Structure formats: C-alpha cells, structure tokens
C-alpha cells in the first residue's frame, strides 16, 4: 500500500499517516496532536489545561520541514507563531552588509515568532531549520483570540517573552563583555553541555552547527573558531568525532571561560 501524507490545516490540526510503511518524512517521529504530545509536561507553553490544549490543537496546522527550510524571515510581516514539536531551528539577524549573528538555537517546545505576532510588527529574526523538524503554525488572528479566551495561556506568553528578554541580555553580556574569543567559545561549549550527563569525566553531546554558525553565535570569525577548536583539541580539552563533541577536561574549559 502506498504511503499517504496530508496536512490538516484546521480542525484536528495534525498530520495523518496511512499505509503499511508508517514512515514519516525526513525520518521524524511525528507528533499527531497537541493532546498526545509527549512534551506537554516539560514545556512552559505546552503544559496548559486540557481545555486550553484542546482549543490549541483545533487552531494549529502541522507540517514537517527539511534542513535549510525558512519558517520566516527577518522583516517579514508576522503572520503567526510556530510551536516547535521536534527538531532545532536557528534564530538569526543580519546587517545590511551581510554579516549574520545567531542569537540562539530553538529546541523542542519553543514558540517562535511570538514578539512580532503579539505586537503586529514584522518578525525581528530569521528562523532557519537546522535539522529535519516538525512545527505547528497558528495564524495571528486565531492566536490572539486564543489568548483572549485563555488567561493561563496569556500568562505563559508573558513568561516566555520575559525569558526571551533575559536570555537576550545574557547573550549580549557574553558577546560584549567577554575578553577573548577563547572565553566566548568555551562558554558556548559549556552552555551546550550544561544539561548533559558526565560519565567517567567526559561529557558528550551532539553539535551539528558548522564553524561558521558557531562563529555567528559568539561574534567571531570562522577562521578564529577553527583555530580555537584545533587549540582546544591539542590541549585535550575537547575531542570531536563527527557530530559528537566530547568535553574531556571540563575544569580546563572552565578555566578558559573564566580567564
């Protein structure tokens, strides 16, 4: 039987799969509904009352995206929000001369395009998919009506905007007040490893960002990042195996961060 795939834009707000294969595009494990999402209890915006989640599910349109897809572009009129169900998305801003700064990498459960959708102004960032991802889209009119009807969701949005503000301040402090590129890179690596378990003195995590993208996140050049990676490896602070980065000497990396 051939695989059938379709997006339901309204109503259930989910992706339906039929056929013997049950294989999702890009190898994703599709989340069919907000009501059955495994991340509901872990994510600030997803963990709402059953009534609110049911309403949320009824106004969402779900789709999967390949690596490199653009959810929205800086300066584009905000048409709604994207709730990231699976995958990762980088959020960046660019100058007129083509320089790019990556502000953060969004993870599962994050809500993207929130500020522009609430204010009615343009998206302030560009959202580019880093790996095959699934996202739920909610149009601006439906989203604003949802917030008017569900005070708990409006409070969560205020909390999310506050968290985004504090994260932006922390990022500005890291980029603006760090004394060296080595300090910035060590801080970046330690932040990425913060939630990972350390076994036998080593911390492993997947890092699919290129040196160019890392440079755009810490405000350095690609050449500088490449040189620092080589230096960190030579000093046995880290080890890189494909997309897996291993922190072998956390205390040494922390000393670089605090230098």
| Domain harbouring 249, CATH code | 1.10.10.10
**Tens of pLDDT, residues 217-235:** 888 899 999 999 999 999 9
Which contacts of 154-158 are long-range, i.e. CB under 8 A and separated by 24 or more positions? 156/44, 156/45, 156/48, 157/45, 157/111, 157/114, 157/118
Contact 55, 80 (CB under 8 A): no
| Judgement on whether residues 115 and 229 belong to the same structural domain of the protein | no
| Judgement on whether residues 208 and 92 belong to the same structural domain of the protein | no
Helix residue ranges, H only, 59-103: none
Least confident of 32-46, 189-203, 208-222: 32-46
| Judgement on whether residues 8 and 67 belong to the same structural domain of the protein | yes
| Judgement on whether residues 241 and 132 belong to the same structural domain of the protein | no
| Judgement on whether residues 69 and 157 belong to the same structural domain of the protein | yes
Kindly report the average pLDDT of the chain as a whole number: 82
| Judgement on whether residues 195 and 144 belong to the same structural domain of the protein | no
pLDDT of residue 39: 53
Percentage of the residues of the chain whose pLDDT score is greater than 70: 80
pTM: 0.69
| Judgement on whether residues 141 and 183 belong to the same structural domain of the protein | no
**Tens of pLDDT, residues 69-123:** 999 999 999 999 999 988 999 999 988 888 888 888 898 888 999 999 999 999 9
| Domain harbouring 167, CATH code | 2.60.120.10
pLDDT of residue 113: 95
Final residue in a domain of this structure, among 176, 193, 228:
176
Q: Could you list the residue range(s) of the whole structural domain that residue 205 is in? A: 178-258
**Tens of pLDDT, residues 150-161:** 998 899 899 888
């Amino acid at each position: 039987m051939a695989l059938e795939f379709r997006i339901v834009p309204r109503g259930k707000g989910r992706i339906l799969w039929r056929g013997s294969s049950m294989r999702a595009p890009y190898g994703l494990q599709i989340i069919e509904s907000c009501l059955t999402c495994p991340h509901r209890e872990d994510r600030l915006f997803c963990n709402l009352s059953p009534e609110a989640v049911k309403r949320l599910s009824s106004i969402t349109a779900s789709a999967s995206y390949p690596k490199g897809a653009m959810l929205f572009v800086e300066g584009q009129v905000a048409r709604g929000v994207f709730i990231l169900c699976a995958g990762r998305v980088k959020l960046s801003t660019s100058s007129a001369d083509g320089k790019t700064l990556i502000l953060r990498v969004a993870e599962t459960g994050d809500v993207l395009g929130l500020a522009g959708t609430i204010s009615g102004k343009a998206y302030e960032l560009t959202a580019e998919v880093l790996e095959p991802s699934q996202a739920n889209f909610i149009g601006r009119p439906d989203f604003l009506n949802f917030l008017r009807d569900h005070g708990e969701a409006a409070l969560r949005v205020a909390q999310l905007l506050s968290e985004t503000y504090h994260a932006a301040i922390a990022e500005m402090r890291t980029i603006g007040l760090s004394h060296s590129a080595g300090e910035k890179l060590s801080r970046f690596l330690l932040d990425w490893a913060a939630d990972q378990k350390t076994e036998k003195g080593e911390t492993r995590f997947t890092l699919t960002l290129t040196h160019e993208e890392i440079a755009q996140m810490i405000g350095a050049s690609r050449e500088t990042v490449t040189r620092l990676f080589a230096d960190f490896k030579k000093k046995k602070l880290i080890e890189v195996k494909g997309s897996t980065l291993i922190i072998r000497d956390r205390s040494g990396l922390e000393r670089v961060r605090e230098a």
